[in-house]
Structure formats: structure tokens, C-alpha cells
Amino acid sequence: MTVLHWATISPFLLAILIPFLYKYARPIHTGWFVLVLPLGLFIYFIRYLPITSGGGVVEYTVPWVPSLGINFTVYVDGLSLLFALLISGIGTLVVLYSIYYLSKKTEKLNNFYVYLLMFMGAMFGVVLSDNLIVLYVFWELTSLASALLISYWFHREKSTYGAQKSMLITVFGGLSMLGGFSLLYVMTGTFSIREIIASVDLVTTSSLFLPAMLLILLGAFTKSAQFPFHIWLPDAMEAPTPVSAYLHSATMVKAGIYLVARLTPVFGGSAEWFWILSIFGIVTLFWGSISAVRQKDLKSILAFSTVSQLGLIMSLLGLGSASLYYGFGSETGEYFTLAILAAVFHLINHATFKGSLFMTAGIIDHETGTRDIRKLGGLMTIMPITFTISLIGLASMAGLPPFNGFLSKEMFFTGVLRATELSIFNMETWGLLFPVIAWIASVFTFVYCMIMFFRTFTGKFKPENYDVHVHEAPIGMLISPIILGSLVVVFGLFPNLLAYTLIEPAMAAILPNLLAEGQFFYVDIYHWHGFNAELFMTIGVVLVGTIIFLSMKKWSKTAIYLKERDPLNLFYDNSLSGLISGSQFVTRIQMTGLLRDYFVYMCVFMILLFGYTMYRYDAFAIDTVNVTGIDPFMWILSIVFIAATLVIPFLNNRMTSVIVVGVIGFLLALFFVVFRAPDLALTQLLVETVTVVLLMLAFYHLPELRKEKFKPSFNIVNLIISVAVGLFVTVIAFSASALGNEAGFESIAEYFIQNSKELAGGYNMVNVILVDFRGLDTLLEVLVLGIAALGVVAMIKLRMTGREDV
């Protein structure tokens, strides 16, 4: 494995050591040990900037399951490097912030940092993997790790509820995405993202193009909280604030954005891709901004603002995909690459201002004991540093100059205005809605930014509203938001610092089909563009937003304002309740506790499934040409075997039943000997001997069972099912033999006879098949048994203290 591979999985390796560091280095906060890793990774990935800014890429491959086309290929280009720097850079600041936010005396830091490192490693895997299956594995690990982080305070009902909701929604989307990946493999014959992009013609001309697109977008939308799947994100705010600052500003919610950007070369340029991304993005922007205004909790406001900002980025990616339709050579095509530029730029900007705002919200909660804006107020003089950082972050999110959010917001306005000029996809008519909805959403964005700022920091400070002594946070907790706030200012005043180091290489990775070798996108970001429509839209946002804020007393008592919870949660709750009720109903029918009932269900299902399959493909056939005669002693052996089987239902003594079952097993071993399968015979003899002995010992030491008498009962349903299963297995055996002879297939047994010794070094073919030829299957079976064993050991060693449910 290469250094890049080790860098990708290094968070998982450190996570293994965290419990030991937590236990044996208790005087030191565990976060100090963790801090070294993301900082080192950030420095390591910076080394790739000269390569990607020059148009180069780095790729390394480690074979994993090459026979299935699955390899652990890590790939660094402009897009993956941008996300890797966000993951490691924001991760460094979050870990530093968490050291002062989480007390080592009261918090289980070993759990927290294990979960955080798991999530960090999973995110690195998502953005650096070239193979879709490997990407999917890491994708689902992000869902698992984020659920663990959200439920970190598991004694709170809201925390477990939020974790469950995020898990159900994102994993549902992930499974759909896996289906889309499988369809891409069917179309192109590869799981490699680079090879799929190179084979884009095979995808666009396939009938599976649209199903694959829809399934993949379902995964992206659920992960990036697009409407109507956004409902999990506000409930995820029950996690500790460092988690919110990390997952929901720069990493997890950006995973869906990354996937859409990465696959734009494959699906971009089509009307379906354009409309789905643009519509869902703009609706999410609008819905999130309106919902944020209704919230009374600082983190809830930031949660819905995150939903809104993610919608903005998604809509820009949708609008920018039109450039693939026109091509880079046309003026219109070049113009719409500006939407991609805006998406990339706002991705960076959102990570800076939203990360700082989450941290300041955490500081306010930490130092005042509340996040309720109805109790807060007058903190400007009490917490001046927090006030300054919040002012910068909120001004940037509201789109005010000279901060970085203003620049990307202006570019967003440019994108939606120019969308009305498109001569494709019926944009001449429906395109007029984009600037209107974007402007209204921006007005409400400005409003909730004003609500956060004025309700928290202005007005009269009332000490009686707080249960603690309110004061400024310690400097250690302020370092991270100060750094992020400083970046908001620096990127706002000098945006072209990022032009050809991060933004242009990321654009080149998103739109590689538009660039010839050696070409670059022209990136020049500046504040003043003259008195244009975008500027007047911004002025209108400020004026109308101010009027709405000043008139809040008139409409803050309306029903829609008082309902903080998103109405779509009702659909989720009812669906989950119906799912639980339905599963309980099915379970009551199916899980009777009787083994005979389980056998009935399984046997009926097998008969129906195989019967329909054989009927559907006309597979019923009997060929007696190659059937040999049966020797007399085989007739005797068969009659004894059948008689022993038939007598079992009529026995009324358990010991006798065990003996007769043993006789059947030994007779079966004799059949194996006759048919020259000594390895099977030996295995059968050993298993049967051990089974009979163990059962006899059990009944001997349980005299009440040994002496128990019972009257056999007759069940016509069981008789019919058992006879049907026997007949059906016989028919399948005859049909398989007949069809195999008809098609000229050789028996697979010959392969094992010839290769067991040569390929696996074993003479016992049964063992060789289980351990070598079916090795992966057997390994998974052993894994299941191992997990079950661990569960049993955990239950045996569990000592309840009575405080688990507190």
C-alpha cells in the first residue's frame, strides 16, 4: 500500500488506539492525541496542490477483489483534493474546539473520538476512491459513524430519535445509490469512475441511463438533505456542537454534493439531470430559508440554513451542467461554467462561515446554558469576541460585502438570471421562475441572519434569564471560530487566492469533457461588476428583508411562524409508525416460536419459487437413457431407509426417536460408501455419532423428558408439504440431469475431482470445497458465528447497574 492509501485509512487505525489512550493517559485530554492526525493529513494533502493546479492527477491501486472489478484505487484530482483539504482542515479545527467544549471529567471521550475518527476516515474514503463499490462502502460508513455521533448523548430521547432518522433516510438512499452503481457497471463493464467517464457514450445511449441516474441522485439527495429528504438534518442537531460544526457544514452533507459533481461528466448535458438538480436544489433553497425563519433555537436556525445553502449549491451544479450541452467552445457554454465556478466557490465559503457559526452557537450554549433566542439578548458586551465572529459569519451568509458569501451569492444570481436565456429544456418559459424563487429565498436568508444577530447580541442583557454566570468563552474554544472567521474575511477580500489553487482544478475535474489537454478555465473573482441586475437584486434583498424583520411583531404570532417543526416530519413519523405496526403484525403471524411452523414457511416458499421458475423457463424434463439399474441390496437398503423415516412420526418416546434418527443417518453414510464418496461418508458418520451421543446424554440427564410419553398427531397439511418437498427435489434432480445431458454440460464434479489436490492441496473434496472453492462463503458464515459468540459473551459478562436507562 502507498502513503496515500495509509493516509486514507489512518483515522481508522488511530480509532483503534483511542480506548487505550483514553484509559492509560487520563491526565491528558484525549483530543490532544487526535489533533495530530487531521493536522498532519492537512499538511500532507497541501503537497498535492502544485500537481492538481497544474492539471495533473495522482492515482494508486491496491487489488481487493479483482475478479469482480473491485480495487482500492485512490485518486487525487482537483475535486477530491478540495474535499480532502476541507475534511482535514475543518477536522483539525473541530478537534481543537472539542478539547475545550467537552470535559474529560464528565464525557466519555473514548467513544466520541472513536466515532469522529471513523467518520473522518469514511469521508476520506468517499472523496478519494475511484471505485464505486469502495466508495459505497465508505459512504455507508459515514451514515453509521454520523448516527453514532448524533446519538452520543444516548440518554436523551431526541438524540436517539435524530440518529435513527438520519440512519434510516441516508441508508435508504445509499442502497438506492448502490443499485445505480450496479446499472452503471452493466452499461460500462467497470466500477472505475474514470473509466465510466471515458465510456460516457455507452451510458448516454443505454436504456438504463435514466434509472441509473434516478437511483444515484436518490442517494445524493438523502445524504445532502435535499427536499423532501432534508428532515433528518435538523434533528441531527442533538449531537454535540463539534459534531454539528463538522458533519453539517463541511463534510457529511457535502458528500452528496461531491457525488453529483463527480458524476456530472457522466450524466450532465441531459435534460433530466439539468431539471432534477435545478428544481430540487432551488426548492430546497426556498424551503430551507423559510423554515429557518420559524426556528427559535440557534442550532435549528443553522440547521435549516444548511439545508438552504445545500440547495443553492445543488441548483448551481444543475444549471452549470448545461455547459456540457453547449460545449466549451460556445459563448453560452463558457458562460454556464460560471455556475460550476459559483458552486465550487460557495462550497468553500459555506464551510468557513457555517463552521464558525456552529462553533459560536456552541459557545453561546456552553457559556449561557441556552440556545433559545427568546431568552438570549444583550450578549454584545458580555461576549465581544463571539459577537465579532458571529457578525462576520452572519454577514457572509446573508450575502453582504466585503465577505466571501457576497461574492458567491452574486455569482448565484448571475447563474439564475442567465438560465432564463437558455434555448434548451424549455427554459425560455419555466426558466423565469429560477431568479424569482432565488431572490425570495435570499430575502428570507437575510431575515434569519438578522434574527440570529439581533435577538442574540442586541437589546438589554437580563441575567435572570440564565442559570449560569454568563461570560466570554476561554481562548482555547475561540481559536477555531476565529480562524474560520478570518478565512471568511480573507477569501472575501482576496478571493483569487483560491482561483487557480482550488477552484479551477475542481472545475476541471467536474467538467473534464470540455477541456482539451493543456486548457484551463478562466477564473477571476472580484466585487464590483457595475450597476447590474445582480446588484439591484442584492439591494432589494436588504431592503425587503429589513422591512420583514422590523415587522416581525405583526406576523410572528401567525400559525405558520409558531410551528417550528417541519410538517414533512409528520409523514416520516406516520410512515415509521405504520412500518413498525406492519412488522409487528407480520412477526406475530410468522414468529410463532414453533420450529415446525418455520419449516412450513420455508418449504412452501421454496416450492412456490422453484415451481414458478421451472414453469416459467420450461425446465421440467426427465431423461432415463443414462439411468443405470438398481442392485438388489440397494433396494433392501432403500426400503429400510424409507421404513425408518416413515416410522418416526408414529413414535411416542423421545429416546426411541433419537435412535431411529441415528439409524437414518448411518444408513445415509452407507449410501455414500456405496456411491464411492468415502469423504462424505466419514463426515456423515462423525456428525451423526456426535449428534446421537449428545442427544442421548441430554435426555439421560433430563429424566422428565426421557420418561415423557406423548401421542403422535396427524396433520394433513404437514403431510402434503413434506411429500411435495420430496417430490419437488426429486423432479429438480431429474430435470437438472436431463437438461444437462441435453445441453452437453459436463458434471461439475469432474472439476473438483481434478483440481482439489492440485489447486487446494487436499484429498477430502468436501473440506476443499468448503474451505477453498467456497472460501468466501464459509468465511462469512464463520464471521456470523463469531459475531453471535461475541454477543453471547457480552450478555454473560453484562452487569446491570440500574442506571442504563436514566
pLDDT, tens digit, 9 for 90 and up, residues 371-384 = 999 889 889 989 99
Cα–Cα dist 594/591, whole Å: 8
Q: What is the pLDDT of residues 64-85, one digit of tens each?
A: 888 888 999 999 999 999 999 9
Cα–Cα dist 5/129, whole Å: 10
User: Which of 577, 326, 368, 582 lies closest to 471 in space, CA to CA?
Assistant: 368
Average pLDDT of the residues in 783-787: 91
Q: What is the pLDDT of residues 213-270, one digit of tens each?
A: 999 999 999 999 999 999 999 999 888 999 999 988 778 889 999 999 999 999 988 8
Residue 294 lies in a domain: yes
What pLDDT score does 713 carry?
Answer: 67
User: Which of 507, 538, 325, 277 lies closest to 417 in space, CA to CA?
Assistant: 538
Cα–Cα dist 316/278, whole Å: 7
Do 606 and 716 fall into the same domain? Answer: yes
Q: Which positions ≥6 away from 203 have C-beta within 8 Å?
A: 184, 187, 188, 196, 209, 212, 266, 267
Is pTM beyond 0.95 here? no
What pLDDT score does 802 carry?
Answer: 56
Query: Is 171's pLDDT higher than 80?
Result: yes
Residue 395 lies in a domain: yes
Do 288 and 416 fall into the same domain? Answer: yes
Q: What is the pLDDT of residues 406-442, one digit of tens each?
A: 999 999 999 888 877 776 666 767 778 889 999 999 9
Domain end position, chosen among 731, 758, 785: 758
Domain end position, chosen among 465, 481, 496: 496
Domain end position, chosen among 496, 518, 546: 496
Instruction: Give the chain's domain count.
Output: 2
Rounded CA Rg of the chain: 33
Mean pLDDT in the chain? Answer: 88
What pLDDT score does 107 carry?
Answer: 85
Q: Which domain holds residue 642?
A: 594-758
Class of residue 514 by CB neighbours under 10 A (exposed 0-12, middle 13-18, buried 19+):
buried
Residue 556 lies in a domain: no
Residue 476 lies in a domain: yes
Do 413 and 276 fall into the same domain? Answer: yes
Residues of the chain with pLDDT > 90, as a percent, come to: 52
Residue 492 lies in a domain: yes
Residue 550 lies in a domain: no
Cell 426558466 -> residue: 431
Q: What is the pLDDT of residues 445-478, one digit of tens each?
A: 999 999 999 999 988 888 888 888 888 999 999 9
What pLDDT score does 805 carry?
Answer: 47
Contact call for residues 92 and 35 (beta carbons, < 8 A): yes
Class of residue 334 by CB neighbours under 10 A (exposed 0-12, middle 13-18, buried 19+):
middle
Residue 710 lies in a domain: yes
Do 277 and 395 fall into the same domain? Answer: yes
Residue 794 lies in a domain: no
Q: Report how far Cα 60 is from the mean position of its chain's Cα atoms.
A: 24
DSSP code per residue over 307-371: HHHHHHHHHHHHHHTHHHHH-TTSHHHHHHHHHHHHHHHHHHHHHHHHHHHHHHHHHHHHHHS--
Do 457 and 329 fall into the same domain? Answer: yes
CA 201, 202, 204, 205 torsion-angle sign = positive
Report CA-CA distances (Å) from 271 to 256, 423, 804.
Answer: 20, 12, 54
Do 480 and 609 fall into the same domain? Answer: no
Class of residue 437 by CB neighbours under 10 A (exposed 0-12, middle 13-18, buried 19+):
middle
Cell 450554549 -> residue: 365
Q: Which positions ≥6 away from 368 have C-beta within 8 Å?
A: 376, 379, 466, 468, 470
CA 268, 270, 271, 273 torsion-angle sign = negative
Of the pLDDT bands very low, low, confident and very high (cuts 50, 70, 90), residue 561 is low
Query: Is 705's pLDDT higher than 60?
Result: no
Do 483 and 621 fall into the same domain? Answer: no
Please give the residue that has the higher pLDDT: either 567 or 172.
Answer: 172
Find the range with the poorest average confidence among 193-197, 301-305, 586-590.
586-590
Report CA-CA distances (Å) from 598 to 415, 640, 768.
Answer: 61, 29, 32
Residues of the chain with pLDDT > 70, as a percent, come to: 93
